[in-house]
Amino acid sequence: MRKILLSELAPGTSAAATCYSQHGSAVVSGGEMITQARLDELQELGLTAVYESDDPEDVEFLLRQQGVVILSLAELAPGSSYPFPLYGSDGSKIFEEAERVTADQVAVLRRFAVDTLFGYERDVEGQAEPRAPEVRELMARLDPPIVAAIAAEEFPEPIRRFGGAMVDMDAHRRGRLAHVQSLYLETVHALGTHYAALRDGAAPPPFRRFHAVAANLFELLVSDWSLALTALDVKHGSRFLEGHAANVALLSMAIAGSLGYDGATAIRVGAGALLADVGMLKVPTRIREKRGTLSSREMRQIRKHLFHGMSILQEMEGVPEEVVRIVYQAHEREKGQGYPTGRSGIWVHEHAKILAVADVYESLVCRRPFRDRRLPHEAMTLVLKLAATQVLASRVVTALLDTLSLYPIGSCVELSGGEIGQVVGATPGRGEQPIVAVLYDNNGYPLEAPRVVDLGQDPARQILRPVDEFDIGVGLSGD
């Protein structure tokens, strides 16, 4: 493995082998011709160097040199134990020293796509610290990290209980969630930098920068779509517009994936979502953040944001015609109820319909300076009604439902037995039967560890009603 500074990569040269970021993500393909635009994208990702190697065995050798024991999941036999702790590729502790492995634990690790575990033999001369970034960087090459929290000062708490269907979801996923939300906030910050240039009247940044932001968000979705979508709950403070755009982009790309679009198309849809409301930067803050009902004059100002946005896109370098079209049509509706032209049905690009559905749902579930949010279940129910009345495209709304379920990930519910749980997964086609982590028993007492229940496999249990997580002090958080 060879470290290459970006300053050493000259336009016109090609990479001899695949190059990776310090997080283990492939950023340059072997043989790819390096262009100045490609270098600019790498710099926008915050990279100062890449690591060149196409030989996994080379990585194993480097790890073993530093006293790292590498175990595949196939080697992790139930009943076995090890004289040292075992860690995931992100540095999170999975098993304590001498802890006996159970079949349930192996099943959960397999479910979370953990292929490799790492141990640290004691008293190995020159052994690196388990949390050393250079060690975790190598581990990530062998097994894509389930947390990849390379900058973390301490490991998350170990997984202590799996017994039967009992999974310590908070301990297992806390590090992953913190990492996902940290990367998400970094992405929103990068988007804010581009928005600031537009707000200040500077020349618009080239389209490729917004495309790069969308690609970063897409990578979060690919790594763990369920955790990525919990970013909808992240508070943005004064970065309201940036947060809204990033949320709509995440949802739009998730919907595009559910509809069967490929990754490149999904990222273009996401880039369109980042630009759909960029014209709002030209609308006075007092109007767009007004508390209470807008006057007809103020509503006209709000609707003008689309034309402000078109003006910005006309000046922006490299915007695909498809993106211009879907941004222009993002506020149209199925029966011509929208604006600016009142187009309907087949005359509205399906990618614009995706943006419309994502925008409506995000606007309902996320807080605004001028109003409170709706519960996810309430928002989904309303979106389904808008599809039934042909305001929104039913095919796209169905894709949203398949992505989030009727009870979206992160929302809390009361089950028919009186228990309270939090939705942690969805199964396409089973919108009313998500996967729930039961947190409280039917007497209101917290369980020692959450009990995960797939309602599609347990017909005796049903959801009685949604519960506001703020009322019971529950939230998906990396804190």
Q: What percent of the chain has pLDDT over 90?
A: 18
What pLDDT does 165 receive?
Answer: 26
| pLDDT beyond 70 at 258 | yes
Give the CA count within 13 Å in the CB-facing half-sphere of 460: 3
Neighbours of 376 (CB within 10 A): 25
pLDDT for 31-57, tens place per residue? 888 888 888 888 877 777 877 776 655
Q: Give the burial class of 153: count Cβ atoms within 10 A of its Cβ; 0-12 exposed, 13-18 middle, 19 or more buried.
A: exposed
pLDDT for 425-459, tens place per residue? 777 667 788 888 888 888 888 887 778 888 888 88
**For the chain, what's the residue count?**
479
Higher pLDDT, residue 204 or 374: 204
Whole-model pTM? 0.61
Sign of CA dihedral 386, 389, 391, 393: positive
Predicted confidence band at 349 (pLDDT cuts at 50, 70, 90)?
A: very high
What pLDDT does 128 receive?
Answer: 42
> Mean pLDDT across the stretch 187-203?
84
- 276 near 248, Cβ under 8 Å? yes
pLDDT for 67-96, tens place per residue? 677 788 778 888 888 888 887 665 556 777
Domain with CATH 1.10.3210.10 in the chain: 173-403
Look at the block and give the residue holding tokens 């995440």: 250
Q: What percent of the chain has pLDDT over 70?
A: 73
What pLDDT does 275 receive?
Answer: 94
| pLDDT beyond 80 at 283 | yes
| Cα–Cα distance for residue pair 253/218, rounded to 1 Å | 7
- 1 near 62, Cβ under 8 Å? yes
Higher pLDDT, residue 337 or 183: 337
What pLDDT does 361 receive?
Answer: 93
> Mean pLDDT across the stretch 302-328?
90
Predicted confidence band at 323 (pLDDT cuts at 50, 70, 90)?
A: very high
| pLDDT beyond 80 at 196 | yes
> Mean pLDDT across the stretch 11-24?
75
The superfamily (CATH) of domain 173-403 is Hypothetical protein af1432 (1.10.3210.10)
| pLDDT beyond 50 at 23 | no
| Cα–Cα distance for residue pair 109/115, rounded to 1 Å | 8
What pLDDT does 67 receive?
Answer: 64
Domain with CATH 3.90.105 in the chain: 2-54
> Mean pLDDT across the stretch 99-104?
79
Report CA-CA distances (Å) from 467 to 30, 287, 404.
50, 33, 17
Higher pLDDT, residue 23 or 273: 273
pLDDT for 385-426, tens place per residue? 999 999 999 999 989 888 887 887 777 889 988 899 888 777
Rounded to 5 degrees, what are φ and ψ at 145?
-65, 140
What dihedral do alpha carbons 280, 247, 463, 443 form, nearest 10°? -100
DSSP 133-194: HHHHHHHHHHS--SS--TT-SSPPPPP---TTTB--HHHHHHHHHHHHHHHHHHHHHHHHHH
| pLDDT beyond 80 at 294 | no
What pLDDT does 38 receive?
Answer: 85
| pLDDT beyond 70 at 300 | yes
Task: Tell me the pLDDT of the chain averaged across its residues.
Answer: 76
Report CA-CA distances (Å) from 316 to 37, 207, 264, 423.
16, 6, 20, 41
Predicted confidence band at 9 (pLDDT cuts at 50, 70, 90)?
A: confident
| pLDDT beyond 60 at 170 | no
What pLDDT does 357 receive?
Answer: 96
| pLDDT beyond 50 at 123 | no
| Cα–Cα distance for residue pair 329/343, rounded to 1 Å | 8
Give the CA count within 13 Å in the CB-facing half-sphere of 275: 37
CATH 3.90.105 fits 2-54, yes or no: yes
Q: Give the burial class of 353: count Cβ atoms within 10 A of its Cβ; 0-12 exposed, 13-18 middle, 19 or more buried.
A: buried
| pLDDT beyond 90 at 316 | yes
Instruction: Kindly state the DSSP code that residue 31 receives in the 8-state scheme.
Output: T
Which region among 181-195, 203-217, 247-261 has the lowest average model confidence (pLDDT)? Answer: 181-195
Q: What are the strands, taking DSSP E only, across 335-458?
A: 412-415, 420-425, 435-440, 446-454
What pLDDT does 271 receive?
Answer: 95
- 71 near 117, Cβ under 8 Å? yes
Higher pLDDT, residue 447 or 59: 447
